[in-house]
Every structure is written in structure tokens, then in C-alpha cells.
Structure 1
């Protein structure tokens, strides 16, 4: 080896390159002016020989292999830096010419990452990742990654045979950012980051901001085309204009929640859009569509926060699906997980050897078997990363709404964690103040856009102030998924109808807190993880099962709150769901005043014995609907229902109509309310077993009221006349009875008189007989006395 060259060798630093443990490779590699000439050093372990080609010089310079690992160096006579390339001859004799990555100064500056580190960056995928660039007239790819605690980071791929010694990245001062511009690479090139971690060995990671992740031949990030966000020609301009114009207005929201990847296994995307349009849903919510590897976690173990999963057919295919949905009048919501990430080796877990993105492993309430890690929201870089991800989906994929999964696990430091494994906040509480600020910032950013995009919180802890309802410091979500309502309702529906009266209050609990948040009622995939809806409800056959589900959905659609229903639970209900969704959209009374007490009134909420519940819904124009639900299999004839409107009622929806598989005919009969002489109005309706019915109400016109008044007065007069006639008849009957009694009395008196005369005559006779007897006695006595005197003489 040339002595001058040998003397310039910095063997400790060369060792750092050889073992890929150097975070400042540009201090050694590339061209450096020395007192003895221009020192050029290159690390190419794949080279047998390396030749240096200096611009303006015809003769190539053979570089000397100063270390058997593949470290080459040469000393060129020059007092300034020169432009050059080098060619590598490999073992198989193949010769390839390269532009030295280390011949370029850093492309970025520390201040470029100020907003990112402060948690204020909204487009992290623009300043990080792999992007085609032209630097000093040379085309290539700029790689940038944040790995603050890494000992060193290398870009690896097929282009360097995944050898981390070839393309070591340069640390940008104290930002924790590593960068390297590699000439000659282009969009579509696969790559990974090889990260050497303090005391933890070396690992290969996917780029956290990859816009595309390929699984062939191995799972690797792909270099993005700089024009990728604009590569698809969108056709949803009318939808986007309308969405912005209607931002802030209360609109009907009925969401079909579905796993797109499961659907596409069986049917096409075109069939899916046709199905949604036919079923009348206003929105579709896709379970996670960001790239993932772990099939056991249904996509919630996100691997690529900026990449569409390959299962959807790729970026353009997914954009076309969103585009087609918009042109069919259907909004698109996607599940997005900012609460935790999985422990896949290639993902965010233990990214730089010191948990750059997260720290603790929680035990998730719903999925205790999931091996995941919570995000560390205290780090501004993490907040910028997550915020940028959300905004990217809204901007580049025209997503209309984001459902944030696992919000409860974000809000609490101790969520799913054992005592002693978490640290209280500065106030001694368990609230995760940094996560709270992140959610507020995210929702403010989305609201400030003013384009109609919205967010849904899947929040199960009962946190008050999730939406912008009456709260001084809300999280500012557009909707809160009402998990409490779902829990109560499914417990009720899972009870045998014979015993539902004991669970009746669970139907009414939701209205006790309805006005505290802007709720979305949800029967989603998590709710049916253990048992399908059809297996929860009552009935001995499929028809009864479906009747019970229809009654349940009727109650759900009548209850205040936007709606979400899981795919797979609607089997056999396609016609019913189609008409229910369309009826809901057409009738503002069912949604416009969800958060206004004027929009809702209980009409029957105290009949557990018959398990009938009824309500009135109203819109701002005064239109009113009466909904009654019978949660037993017993038909209720002439059910007397209190109503609020004095008027006419017509059945406009019945879950047991024949077209829905039931036994009821369309009932066009108008029902007129009456008031039983009190101040309350009533209607008498028929409620089939396990059903719900909807009646619209039409107040009486003034003419009808006058007619009713005339008829009522006539009825009163007639009633009075009939009363008087009845009284006269009663008097007549009483007089006749009295006369009858008088006649009878006269007869009795005449009889008594006759009997008295007869008694008198008998008495006279007997007196005369007594007098004659007395005279005879006197005569007889006188004779005897005279005879006695004669004897005595």
C-alpha cells in the first residue's frame, strides 16, 4: 500500500464502516481534500476490483482494497473535490458503474425537521421516506428516516444485496434523522432500513412512511414515485364540491361496516359498489386498509401507516373504489388505529432499539391475545407521524371520515396495564395528557379544513366531552360510537322474550345521556365476534329470528344517533335494509334533531309487561313520525297509544309487511286520533309480534277541526237528548208502576171493605145469636127458679 495512502487511513473509523456501526459515514467515505491530495474511499464488499473514473481524465484509477471486507481507497492528485464515478467488478465478472452517494452533501438541514420533532408536521411522508430526486443534475432516490437512538442505519435492498455496509446513512446532527441520497435508483425499487441498535444487534425495518409495501419476493418498502399522489385521475369532483358545501349540516348517516379484503376474496369491487347503492347506505366503513402482515389481528396491527394493503389491489385500485363510491353517492370511512401497533419484527416495534414510537405493552380488553404496543404521544415526532398519516388518507385517497379505533386506550395511561407498569401524569392522574392533546390537534386540523371530513371515536370508557357537545374542553370528534347503548341493547335482545320485561329499562337508558354527545349507534364486527346476531335473538326458526332482528333494527333507526351496521349480520334482510335505509334518508325527522330534545319524545316507555316501546321523532319543519316496537311474539290488537299530534295517522312502514317476509298486508287505512274526553290524544293500532311500525302524522286542518267541533257538539246534543229521553222513559215507567200499585191498592181496599162488611154481618148475626141464647138462658133460668120455688113451698 502506498505510504501516503496508508498514513491517511483512519482505521478506527474504517472499522466502524466495516461493521456498519458508523452514523457519520460522510466524514470518511467519498472524496476529502487532504494535504497530500484528494482521498477517495468506497465500501463495496461485493467488489473484486473498483475503478475510479474522474471527469475530464481518460485513465481510470485502480482503487486499492485496504481492508479485506471490501473497503477501497485511493489518493488522487488534486487540491479540490472532483466529479467522479466508480465501476465495480464482481466475482462473476459483471461490471457496473455507480455514482458515489457520499460525493453529495446532505440534502436536508436540521431546521427541516423542527416541525416534525415539535409534533406540528402534517406531511411527514413528504420529508421522510424514499423519494425520487435530482441532486446536482444526478437522478436518484433520497432516503430519510427518523431513528434517534440507533447506533447506525443503512439502506438495503436487491441493489446492494441487502448488505448494510454499502449504503450507511448520515445522521443529521441531533435531530435523530438519518439521510442518504443514492444515485441511480428509481421509483419501484424495493428497500428496507437495516438498523444497528445499541446492545440489541441488527434488525431490518420497513420504512414507517412507505407509500407502498410489496410482499414479492419479500416484504419490503417500495420507492415512491414523486407524482404518486396525483397519478390517479379522480372523477369525483361533484361529490367533493357537494361535501364541502354541506360541511357542518346535519345529514343522514347510515354506515355499512365491512372488511374490504374479505369481500374482495369473493366478489369484485364493482359488485361491492352496486350492492351498497342498492342497499341505500350513505357511507361505507372499511376495516383497516393500511398495510398489515398479522392476519390474526384483522388489520389492526398496522405495519404501513401510509400504504394501502396489497390485498385491495394496490393504491390506484383503492382510489378507484373510493371514486366509484363517491360517484354512487356513498361516502367512505376507514378504520385507523392510532392507539397501538403490533410487534412484528419489520414494523415500528423496537424500531431504533429504544422504542422510538412506543413503549408499554397493554393487555387489550377486547383482544387479550393481541401482542401490541402503545404509542408514545409525549414525543412530538410520534404525534407528527400519526397526524400526517391521518391527513394523508384524507388528502390523497379522498377519504370522507376516519374512525379512530381504541380511543379509550389512548386516553388513559393505565389502560390494560398492570399496577407499577405505568407512570401517573404531572397531576397524579391516569389521563394521558399527551394523547389528549394529539386527538384535539388532529380533530382541529380536520375541522379547520372545512371540507366535510369527519372523525368517529371508538371510545368505550365513558369519557365525557368526546364530541363538541356541551363541554368546555372537548376532544372535538364529530361522532362518538355509543358502546354503552350497544351493550345494553344487545343484552336486551339476547334475553328470551318471556323475560325481556325484566330488561325493559335497557331500552330507555340511552336517552338519559343522549344529549351529552353526538352519538353513532353501532352494531359492528366487535359486537358479533363471539356470536352472530341471528344466534343472539329469539325465535324457533329463521323467520322468527329475522323478525326479531328487523324489530331490533327498527328500534335502532328510530333512536337518536347516526347508524352503523356490520356486514354479514344482514343475511336475508337485503330488501328490508334497502327500504329502511332509504326511508331513513328521506325522513329528516329520524336524524335532523338527534341532539335536540325537540326531536324526540317517548310515547310509551313504561310497558314492560307487554314489552312495547314507542316514540315520536320530529324535524325542524314540524314533520312527525310515530314509531312503535313490539319485542314479544304476541300480536297486539287495538293497542291504545298516546300520541302528541291531534290528527290523522297512516302506516308508512311495517317490518312485517309481506315484501319483507312477514304476514302483514300494506295498511292504507287512516287512523284518527281521539281524546277520551281528556287532554291526551290516542290512536288504536295493531302491532304484529316481533315487529316495528311507523306512522306519519298529519294534524287536522282548520276545516276538519270545525267539522270535528260540529260533530262533537251534535254528539253532545244527541247524548243530552238521549239522556232526557231516557229520563222521560224512566219517569213513564215509574208512573205506570205507581198506577199499577194504586190499582192494586184499590183492589186490596175493596176486598178489605167487603171482608169488613162480611165480618160485620157475621158479628151482627153472632150478636143476635148470643142475645137469643142469653134470652133463652134467662128464660130457662127463670123456669128453673120458678120450679125451685114451687118445690120449696
Structure 2
């Protein structure tokens, strides 16, 4: 029997530009001598011969070579592939498995068994297709990308590849498994979804791969997998097949506790870390430590420092180390700089087993233009807007996601859930939220497009943010979302049903800017700027705030925190200890970037970690000791954390003494001892300063930032103070406090 294929069809296979290989290759119904039969066709370049292995009959049927380039065909009884009875095309959408497999002989004579990639059933169910079409497939990562599977009970294991490229002419998956010859593995398309799929039995875990895409204009581009789970070490750019099911998690106790915990009322003392520079050592490129080594070192250090959480600058794969991870390409792949996906799972698991939460920075606001990434993925503006007034960020030279497109919004929400699901991450700090909320963000004149109502609000981005927050909090109770949002947008950390955006926390950028500006002033001038400190309490409970002293405050010429402090050497250290003590007693959760806890002098750079050698000096060890004790003080005293976000947890005693630059306040939580905080922002000791207190009794001094242990002068009130019976500050009783110079004294009310 002559083949029913045309020369044009065969040519499209040989030349590698067939847009619908499933219509040619695989099993197809034919009429053979008046009886139904199945024509099984395969394209196997670099082969000498090929066979169809009929599992039902237990026989091997030779295939006829119908083109010297490696196109084969065999006419088989219909029961070889019963799932295609009555079909004129292959059953790409069938959930049944074919009744045969293929064998072929390499030029060396080696016989290779393989599943016919064009007979394997799709991994996408009807429900998957419906959810994808609606943009609501929150477990998209379980279908898209590269997944190890068997295409049938009698089939060898392989890898299923799925990618979204709706405007491509042709898509091939190329990699180690096919010698990067895409003609062998041209993918099949779900036309209504724009999704391409192929099962490759030769592929395995560890293989490198890319998608070779022919654009509408005929150009060929190689792209890494947008849903790839692992990637080559930059500057190499291929994706890597990974199995995310191999790690055996041992953090069940942590996960159960997290699901039953309200993060708003628990301590949250976060240590912000850039994994590539926190600590370095030999054995890996650029001194990068692997995830497992980092896990043990971070646990030891954070336990000693009493941090409750580690917040990681972006760990998703990024080509340019100097972007610190904020120009992400591999949204589903932990960076290979520190090891494999399983190594990162071990990292999170080990921290959880040692009672440390893990927050990661997440970047849904923009992505870079690297040729192997999302930019013009199928030759068209797919993930980004076509119009640069919407699609290109003027500050960073990156592309802005098109949040109005169902598939893009689905990609991002699923990516957020992926990290919580597959890696047990405890929360996401969302970068650059303000740039997402405003259409005219950092744009001058008319270089932006208003929304449908003529406003500057990005309505599609707002919808995406709310969907993201709802999905995270519904599916992963106890997990947190944190907004880096620098404007006065209302309700960032308020519930969706109350008109908010739904974040758990919001960074208090106003507090950070006002406080650092105040602390940079010479103490003699601070009396004129007291409102820069007191203003934060006017709005402190309008959001669930985190007080951040992040990496952004020690880069781009700003200098380190201690270098920003005024005065001589003694005053610089005292001012820094004062800043930290004030911050740790102010309402709001806490975040400190690495190096700040040892008062390092140099500005942070991604190639250099903290100046650990400074701990040879008592002054730097003193600051480190203070941070450890402040963290423990917050953990041990609910008055300093349980009511961070409610006004009944704070009370001013003295905020009007501008001449002395003094602040005195209470931190409270019902059922727990009240804390009294006395801050002196000048280098002049305030001896016997009368402070009104709510009740008579004894107040123990639990921390003094001027203690010798911290490098101070030991001006204080050890072991504590007894009330005097004298009313003050409109309160019935008072204590006489020795306020240390540039220092903070913290007292706890005793029963």
C-alpha cells in the first residue's frame, strides 16, 4: 500500500517546520484492503530501521521507510491502537494509552525502545482546559513545564513537555535527549489554548532542554521553559528536567503549627539575607555556598541572634547576579548558584525543623529582556504589553506584565502558590507593589495610558493582586504576604471584603524614611524635628506594618547604617544602638538586613558579604549582642508583639519634650506585663527624669542600650525602679529614670 502522506507533508517533517505533526505522525485510521487498519508513522532521523511493537498480539511489526530522511510507516491491525477506532486523526486528546510502542535501530546497531510521542495521551484533562481558559488554574505548575510520567501502563517512563506559545508557527522541544535536533520532537498544539505538548520517552531527570520556537515571521528562537523547575548555572541558560517529588519532608510539626497560628499576634523578627554574599567559601563558583551548607550556618546564627524568620532576596533563577535576583527569568526554578531544587527543599525543611520561618522576595512587577526568557516569548508581546507606555519600565529597562491577560495572571498566581506548595515557603514579600498599582508610575508627561475611567490606577494589576492574596490565604493558612509599597494607597493590608488589597503586612516606608532622616541629624538639631518620630504613631495602626531596615537603605551610595549616624565614633555606635532599640519597641514587625546587626562600615555589595572580621572589636560585638537581646525581648514579652497592629497596644507618656529630645511610651497587651520605654535622642544624660506610670509598683529594667555589654557607658537603672507616689504626665504615680545618653531604657512592670 502506498502511503497517504504527500511530499509536502513529508518535507515539512524533514525540514522541521511542521506546525501540526500530530496530523501526520502517530496512529491514524486508514482503510486497508476494505478493512479498518491503523497507519503508525514515525520520524526517526539517524536510524537504520524501525518497528511497531504490538503489545496485545505480542509481535514486532517492521515499519517501511517511506523517505530516506527517516520517515517510517507501518499498517497494523486496528486493535493495535483501539483508542483511535473511527478517527481520521490521532487521538491526541484521548485519555487512553495506545496498545503499542516503537523500536528503532541506531546506525551503530543499538536497538532503542520508545513510546510514540504522537500517541501518548495529553496530561491536560477537560477540567484543566476549562481552568486554563478561565485563567483560574492555580496548580498550573502540575501540568505545564517538564514532568516525569509514563504515557501508559506498558510504556517506558519519559518526560511530558507543555508550554504556552499561542502565536508560534511551530514549537520543538530540544535537548540532551535528541542531540538538540528539534525535527525529532516537534510538539503538538491544543489550538484553542495555544498550548503545545509532547511526551518524550528518551528524556529523563537531569537533561537540559529548551523550546525552539518558529515565530509568525518565520524566525527561530530558543527559549528556556517559563515553568521550568531547574536551570543551568548562569551564564548558561537551558532549563533542566527536575523531579520535585523526591524530597521527603520532615517539617510536619512546623507546618501544622503555622496553619493554626495568627501571624499578626506572633513575633516576627526577620533577618534579610542575600544568599550569595551572606557567607562565602571555597568549592563553588564565586564562593557561593550550597543550600545545605547555608541552611546549617543560618540556623546556628539565627538561633544565636534570636531571629524568628529569614527573608531571602529573590531565589528564583536570574541571569545577572548584579540584579540581586530582582530581574527574574526562571520564575519556577530556585537559582542553581547554590544547588538543585532538592537542595533548596532541604534548606527550607531544615530551617522549619529548627523553628525558623522562610520568606522569599517575589517579583511579579517586571521581568528582563534576556533573549532566552519571557520577553517576546513566541515572537510576540505575550507576557508583556505591546505598547511601551504600558509594557516597559522606564527606570529598570525591564518589561511589565500584562495583568489584563488571563494566562499571564494565571501564570503569576500559580507561581506564587508553587513556592508555598512545592517548597513549603512561609510567605512572599512582593517587590515594587507601587509600580504595579499606578499606570503613571515613574512616567513623565503623557507617556502613559489611563485606565478605562481616565484614572491612573492599574485596575488589572489591582485585580491580580487581590486574586493572588485570596489564593494564598485560602490555600495556605498561616502563610503571609508582605507588600513593599511606598505610597499612601489605602488598605494595602486590609481584607478584600473591606476594600483592601489583602496583604498580611505592608512595609512601613514612611516610618523608615522619617526615622533615618531624623537619626542623620546632629543631636543638637533634633529638637526641631521631633515630629518626624511622633508622626508615625498617627497612622501606625491603619495598616499591619513591618518596620524595614532593608538592603535598599545600604546601597547606591547611601552608605551603611552606622556610617549614616552623626557624631564621633562613640556617638555613631550609640546612635545606632538607639535606632535599633527604638525600632524594636515601636509598634510593627521587624526586618533587618544582614550586616546591620554587626554595624558594618561598608555599603553592601552583592560580591562581598558582611564584614565579619569587625567582630574582633568590642564595639561591633556590642551591637550584635544588642540585636540578639532585642529579638529575645520581643519574643519573651507579648506586650512588644501581640498588639503591633492595634491602637490599644501603645500609649504615649511623653512625646512633647522637644527641648530634651525625649520620647517615653508604653507597650501593652491584655493579660501580660506592660513595658515602659524611655528614649533619649541626645548625648546628654537625663538624670532622675520623672516619668508618669499607670500603676504603682516595681519596674524592672530589662534592657539598657547603654550597657557595657553593648559598648555603652553603663548609665542606667539596674536592677529597676520603685514608684514614688508622685503624680506625673497625668498619671497617678511615677518613677525617676536615669536616661542614658543616646540611649534607651526598657522596663517591665512587675506583678
- Tell me, yes or no, whether TM beats 0.5: yes
Aligned twin of 2:746: 694
What is the CA–CA distance in structure 1 between the aligned matches of 2:577 and 2:350, rounded to whole Å? Answer: 30
Long gaps (5+) in structure 2: 82-99, 282-288, 599-619
Q: 1:517 to 1:58 in 2, by over 3 A?
A: closer
Counterpart check, 1:657 vs 2:657: no
Q: Deviations over 1:20-58 (max 9, x none)?
A: 3333111122344445686555444x5264444564666
Q: Deviations over 1:535-571 (max 9, x none)?
A: 1012321x43221111001111111111111111111
Aligned twin of 2:86: none
Counterpart check, 1:85 vs 2:102: yes
Q: Shift in Å at residue 119 of structure 1?
A: 2.2
Q: 1:696 to 1:74 in 2, by over 3 A?
A: closer
Residues 33, 81 of structure 1: 8 Å contact kept: no
- Bigger shift: residues 262-271 or 482-491: 262-271
User: Which residues in structure 2 correspond to 1:201-216 (within 5 Å)?
Assistant: 201-215=219-233
What is the CA–CA distance in structure 2 between the aligned matches of 1:98 and 1:237, rounded to whole Å? Answer: 40
Q: 1:25 to 1:416 in 2, by over 3 A?
A: farther
The correspondence for 1:127, drawn from 143, 149, 155, is: 143
Counterpart check, 1:557 vs 2:584: yes
Counterpart check, 1:47 vs 2:98: no
Q: Shift in Å at residue 524 of structure 1?
A: 0.4
- Report SS of the residue matched to 2:364: coil
Aligned twin of 1:63: 65
Counterpart check, 1:233 vs 2:260: no
Aligned twin of 2:663: 613
Aligned twin of 2:170: 152
What is the CA–CA distance in structure 2 between the aligned matches of 1:217 and 1:372, rounded to whole Å? Answer: 19
- Bigger shift: residues 186-195 or 294-303: 186-195
The correspondence for 2:632, drawn from 576, 582, 586, is: 582
Counterpart check, 1:432 vs 2:450: no
Residues 361, 417 of structure 1: 8 Å contact kept: no
Q: 1:469 to 1:617 in 2, by over 3 A?
A: farther
Aligned twin of 2:199: 181
Q: Shift in Å at residue 73 of structure 1?
A: 4.4
Aligned twin of 1:672: 723
Long gaps (5+) in structure 1: 700-793
Q: Deviations over 1:496-524 (max 9, x none)?
A: 22322232211011111112111111110
The correspondence for 1:598, drawn from 648, 654, 665, is: 648
Aligned twin of 2:567: 539
The correspondence for 2:259, drawn from 234, 237, 244, is: 244
Residues 547, 691 of structure 1: 8 Å contact kept: yes
Counterpart check, 1:441 vs 2:467: yes
Counterpart check, 1:505 vs 2:535: no
- TM-score using structure 1 length: 0.80
Counterpart check, 1:282 vs 2:278: no
User: Which residues in structure 2 correspond to 1:601-750 (within 5 Å)?
Assistant: 601-621=651-671, 623-664=673-714, 667-675=718-726, 680=731, 681-698=733-750
What is the CA–CA distance in structure 1 between the aligned matches of 2:172 and 2:313, rounded to whole Å? Answer: 34
- Report SS of the residue matched to 2:198: strand
Counterpart check, 1:138 vs 2:155: yes
User: Which residues in structure 2 correspond to 1:386-405 (within 5 Å)?
Assistant: 386-405=412-431
Residues 426, 480 of structure 2: 8 Å contact kept: yes
- Report SS of the residue matched to 2:128: helix
Aligned twin of 2:187: 169
Residues 467, 475 of structure 1: 8 Å contact kept: yes
Counterpart check, 1:191 vs 2:219: no
Counterpart check, 1:462 vs 2:488: yes
RMSD: 2.9
Counterpart check, 1:10 vs 2:6: yes
Q: Shift in Å at residue 117 of structure 1?
A: 2.9
Which structure features the higher share of helix residues? 1
- Bigger shift: residues 128-137 or 510-519: 128-137
The correspondence for 2:134, drawn from 118, 136, 146, is: 118
What is the CA–CA distance in structure 1 between the aligned matches of 2:379 and 2:549, rounded to whole Å? Answer: 41
What is the CA–CA distance in structure 2 between the aligned matches of 1:548 and 1:499, rounded to whole Å? Answer: 14
Q: 1:429 to 1:31 in 2, by over 3 A?
A: same
Residues 49, 63 of structure 1: 8 Å contact kept: no
- Bigger shift: residues 33-42 or 418-427: 33-42
Residues 395, 442 of structure 2: 8 Å contact kept: no
- Bigger shift: residues 628-637 or 452-461: 628-637
Residues 362, 374 of structure 1: 8 Å contact kept: no
Aligned length: 684
What is the CA–CA distance in structure 1 between the aligned matches of 2:478 and 2:545, rounded to whole Å? Answer: 17
Q: Shift in Å at residue 186 of structure 1?
A: 2.5
- TM-score using structure 2 length: 0.84
Q: Deviations over 1:73-100 (max 9, x none)?
A: 457486786746252544x777755443
Q: Shift in Å at residue 255 of structure 1?
A: 0.7
What is the CA–CA distance in structure 2 between the aligned matches of 1:450 and 1:129, rounded to whole Å? Answer: 23
Residues 469, 517 of structure 1: 8 Å contact kept: no
Aligned twin of 2:280: 265
Q: 1:395 to 1:374 in 2, by over 3 A?
A: same
Q: 1:363 to 1:612 in 2, by over 3 A?
A: farther
Aligned twin of 2:87: none
- Report SS of the residue matched to 2:699: strand
What is the CA–CA distance in structure 1 between the aligned matches of 2:169 and 2:163, rounded to whole Å? Answer: 13
What is the CA–CA distance in structure 2 between the aligned matches of 1:433 and 1:624, rounded to whole Å? Answer: 44
- Bigger shift: residues 201-210 or 442-451: 442-451
- Bigger shift: residues 658-667 or 16-25: 16-25
What is the CA–CA distance in structure 1 between the aligned matches of 2:62 and 2:431, rounded to whole Å? Answer: 60
- Report SS of the residue matched to 2:142: helix
Q: 1:249 to 1:288 in 2, by over 3 A?
A: closer
